């Protein structure tokens, strides 16, 4: 809940002071100085908020890069399975060709020996009968060996095909995960960019009237951003509407209570390292550690992230 401090400025529940809608004074020198200080303070608040959003965006960017690395590894494994499947298919065609050739040769040999037996049968040539028997048995064993090899290759092909189906399912799931994390990264960058734009508009205002208008717009925007920080349902809905490109819907989101957000379920990371927080806006940020992943929704994730900023 917000409260009003002694200067009439709005104090939010995170301790950030939001200047009220009081216009900048064009009267006496003390009043002008007070107005100038108000502008400086407000620009500092905007800059702090921009820095916070930048760090969250950076964390999501690193998470996105990590998810893409996993995706690339899965794709390499799929390519390896495809190559293995291709080689097994070649082996299968080779074995089937050998079976056809061997079977054809044995049939021709058997027919030739059978004709010889027919010619010599009246003489009772037992040697021919032995030759026929050996030829038939040898052919059976050779062909049967090739058939066993063929069945083995077919079984290996079936196994690889099952592995390909599983791998493709993993790739689709990982692709969805990567897309969701990337969407969050882009959405936070959009929040940061718009905050930066408001800050620039105040700095570049050429008149008190324009500056007053810019500060009022920036104040409304900052209030919306901080509402999203306090209620992740609003942030989720903002992200979904931002994806649709509906600016009118974006303007209304933080001002309407959202009972249940149609959020984007994302597996990202539990928290940002507490030690990675900056102690002041001007202090360089430390090198971010790789995020830890867990099976939590973007709502819980965002709560953890913003809690540390």
Angstrom distance (rounded) from CA 270 to CA 267: 9
pTM over 0.95: no
Q: Are 221 and 194 in contact (CB under 8 A)?
A: yes
Angstrom distance (rounded) from CA 258 to CA 29: 46
Residues 92-140: pLDDT tens digits? 999 989 888 887 777 777 777 777 666 766 555 666 666 666 766 666 7
How many residues are there in the chain?
309
Residues 62-97: pLDDT tens digits? 888 999 999 999 999 999 999 999 999 999 999 989
Angstrom distance (rounded) from CA 248 to CA 230: 22
Angstrom distance (rounded) from CA 166 to CA 99: 33
Q: Are 274 and 214 in contact (CB under 8 A)?
A: no
Angstrom distance (rounded) from CA 186 to CA 22: 34
Instruction: Phi first, then psi: give them for residue 288, nearest 5 degrees.
Output: -70, 135
Angstrom distance (rounded) from CA 285 to CA 58: 11
Q: Which of 291, 292, 295 is nearest to 55 (CA)?
A: 291
Instruction: Provide the token pair at 297.
Output: 């929704």
Q: Where are the domains of the chain?
A: 12-307
For the ranges 12-16, 212-216, 224-228, 293-297, which has the lowest average pLDDT? 293-297
Residues 6+ apart with CB under 8 A from 71: 171, 174, 175, 178
């Amino acid at each position: 809940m917000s409260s009003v401090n002694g200067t009439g400025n709005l104090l939010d529940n995170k301790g950030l002071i939001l200047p009220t809608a009081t216009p900048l004074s064009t009267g006496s020198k003390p009043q002008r100085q007070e107005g100038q200080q108000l502008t400086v303070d407000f620009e500092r608040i905007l800059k702090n908020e921009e820095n916070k959003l930048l760090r969250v965006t950076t964390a999501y960017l690193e998470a996105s890069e990590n998810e893409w690395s996993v995706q690339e590894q899965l794709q390499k494994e799929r390519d390896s399975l495809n190559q293995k499947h291709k080689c097994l298919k070649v082996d299968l065609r080779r074995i089937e060709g050998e079976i056809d050739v061997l079977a054809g040769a044995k049939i021709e040999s058997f027919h030739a020996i059978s004709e010889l037996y027919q010619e010599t049968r009246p003489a009772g040539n037992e040697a021919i009968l032995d030759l026929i028997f050996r030829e038939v048995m040898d052919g059976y064993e050779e062909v049967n060996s090739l058939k066993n090899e063929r069945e083995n290759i077919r079984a290996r092909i079936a196994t690889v095909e099952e592995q390909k189906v599983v791998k493709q399912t993993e790739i689709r799931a990982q692709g969805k995960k990567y897309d969701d994390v990337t969407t969050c990264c882009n959405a936070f960058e959009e929040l940061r960019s718009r905050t930066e734009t408001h800050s620039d508009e105040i700095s570049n205002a050429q008149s008190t009237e324009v500056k007053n208008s810019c500060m009022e717009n920036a104040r409304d925007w900052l209030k919306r951003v901080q509402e999203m920080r306090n209620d992740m349902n609003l942030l989720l809905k903002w992200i979904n509407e931002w994806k649709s490109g509906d600016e009118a819907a974006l303007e209304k989101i933080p001002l309407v209570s959202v009972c249940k957000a149609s959020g984007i379920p994302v597996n990202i990371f539990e928290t940002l390292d507490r030690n990675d927080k900056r102690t002041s806006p001007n202090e360089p940020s430390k090198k971010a550690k790789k995020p830890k992943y867990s099976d939590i929704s973007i709502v819980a994730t965002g709560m953890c992230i913003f809690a540390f900023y």
